[in-house]
């Protein structure tokens, strides 16, 4: 089954960042029928991410999130824009992710902000970061300013969301699915044999 990890770095609740993430996930699901969409809300992992940066060891909830992203066939990454760049929480999460985890993985980048003037942050901040991580970034990046939520023009937010989701789905479909660790079941007889004391003749 195709797995899509959705990383949302919204800080408020409700969050326009999470709303955009949900729209992108829904559109991707339409293009990739049967895909397993797994949403990771970074807001609840903020303390774990900070601890990981200091100790080098992820707590269980953060490890599960990191594993989900590492094993996903595609990633949707959405951040609010602060000071013309991604949020510190968003960057910190990808800082603690293994720097080879996204190699060859299709990634759709998106962001929210109060004004359209910050839309280029996707190109000068997010796209270079994921290129450095050797991800395959889809051509269409989606930025949603406050005024975009009610826009109904031909190239409005809904159109850009669908186009980007289609590009992500096309890339995911062309790349072989990532191998996932299967749970190995050891027959009971073998488990018993391992418990028997070892004797020499």
Compute how many other C-beta atoms are within 10 angstroms of the C-beta atom of residue 116: 13
CA distance 143 to 20: 9
- Per-residue pLDDT tens digits of the chain, which is 201 residues long: 899 999 999 998 889 999 999 999 999 999 998 899 999 999 999 999 999 999 999 999 999 999 999 999 999 999 999 988 999 999 999 999 999 999 999 999 999 998 888 889 999 999 999 999 999 999 999 999 988 887 655 568 999 999 999 999 999 998 877 665 544 455 556 655 555 554 444
The reported pTM is 0.85
From first CA to last CA, the distance across the chain in angstroms is 51
Cα separations in angstroms, 47 against 9, 60, 92, 182: 13, 12, 11, 31
Which domains does the chain possess?
3-195 (3.40.50.360)
Are the C-beta atoms of residues 110 and 24 closer than 8 Å to each other? yes
What is the Cα gyration radius of the chain? 20
């Amino acid at each position: 089954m195709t797995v899509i990890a959705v990383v949302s770095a919204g800080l408020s609740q409700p969050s326009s960042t999470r709303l955009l993430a949900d729209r992108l996930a829904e559109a991707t699901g339409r293009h990739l029928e049967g895909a397993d969409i797994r949403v990771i809300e970074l807001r609840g992992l903020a303390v774990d991410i900070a601890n990981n940066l200091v100790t080098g060891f992820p707590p269980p909830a953060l490890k599960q999130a990191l594993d989900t992203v590492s094993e996903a066939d595609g990633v949707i990454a959405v951040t609010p824009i602060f000071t013309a760049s991604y949020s510190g929480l968003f960057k910190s999460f990808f800082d603690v992710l293994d720097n080879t985890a996204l190699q060859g993985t299709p990634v759709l980048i998106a962001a929210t902000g109060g004004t359209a003037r910050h839309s280029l942050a996707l190109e000068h901040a997010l796209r270079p970061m994921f290129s450095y991580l050797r991800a395959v970034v889809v051509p269409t990046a989606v930025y949603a300013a406050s005024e975009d939520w009610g826009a109904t023009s031909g190239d409005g937010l809904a159109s850009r969301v669908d186009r980007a989701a289609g590009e992500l789905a096309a890339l995911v479909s062309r790349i072989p699915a990532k191998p996932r660790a299967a749970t190995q079941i050891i027959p009971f007889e073998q488990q018993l044999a391992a418990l028997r004391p070892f004797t020499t003749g």
